[in-house]
A and B are shown apart, each in its own frame.
Chain A
Amino acid sequence: QQQVKQSPQSLIVQKGGISIINCAYENTAFDYFPWYQQFPGKGPALLIAIRPDVSEKKEGRFTISFNKSAKQFSLHIMDSQPGDSATYFCAASKGSSASKIIFGSGTRLSIRP
């Protein structure tokens, strides 16, 4: 019940296309859903986050869609660029305590020029 399941494991998208990464959770007590972006040789960095009181959050080309009833959330990257090539992790936690954050297994995204 503590797991966050992420798919796909890897993804190749053409430049200008839409990249979509999906995550599912079981614990209905989760109330904070961040996405982290990691470039090779670097640590992950927070990209965007959502709380379950909204169904969508957009920041530039990055959008989180949240479906509370299905216990699913997804990251959409519009107009994908080669610079977006990275590993993306979804996560979930109850409350704002970082020690309670559960990460998904990661998606390696490659954008083809």
Chain B
Amino acid sequence: DAGITQSPRHKVTETGTPVTLRCHQTENHRYMYWYRQDPGHGLRLIHYSYGVKDTDKGEVSDGYSVSRSKTEDFLLTLESATSSQTSVYFCAISVTKGGAGTGELFFGEGSRLTVL
């Protein structure tokens, strides 16, 4: 399972409140990703990180911010949650071999967020 732990696994919150989801990995992988999964849309990349304090935007980054102060932790923050952010959020890591990416993603088990 690539040693990925997501927390919380389930959360219900109200519109306008801040929410932080945590992704923790134990295998010192450089690349980490946050996706959201919605019916009919597959998996869409929110933000990703290629090292400590190095992050970049993905396809659907509006309304989200991330931080990576340690190799093992990648945090996703919704500053002011909206109902459109109700989704299942997946953290993932990718493996490199010889410094080059293999293209394979390993996913955590997901965090289901409901915004009322």
Contact = CB atoms under 8 A, between A and B. Distances in A.
By secondary structure, the B interface counts as strand
B12 interface: no
Given A98-B31, A99-B48, A45 B107 contact: yes
Nearest to B56: A99
Contacts of B40: 9, 105
Given A103-B44, A106-B42, A96 B33 contact: no
Interface stretch (A36-44, A54-62, A63-71): A36-44
A31 to B, nearest CB: 10
B42 A34 contact: no
Q: How large is the interface on B (under 10, 10 to 19, 20 to 34, 35 or more residues)?
A: 20 to 34
A42 B103 contact: no
B65 to A, nearest CB: 17
B101 A97 contact: yes
Of all A-B residue pairs in the complex, the 10 with the closest CB atoms, nearest first, are A43-B107, A98-B94, A103-B42, A96-B101, A96-B103, A103-B43, A105-B42, A99-B48, A32-B103, A46-B104
Given A32-B103, A44-B107, A98-B105, 20 more contacts: A34-B103, A34-B104, A43-B4, A43-B92, A44-B43, A44-B90, A44-B105, A89-B42, A89-B43, A96-B100, A97-B101, A97-B103, A98-B31, A98-B48, A98-B92, A98-B103, A101-B105, A105-B40, A105-B42, A106-B42
Interface of B: 4, 31, 33, 40-45, 48, 56, 58, 90, 92, 94, 100-110
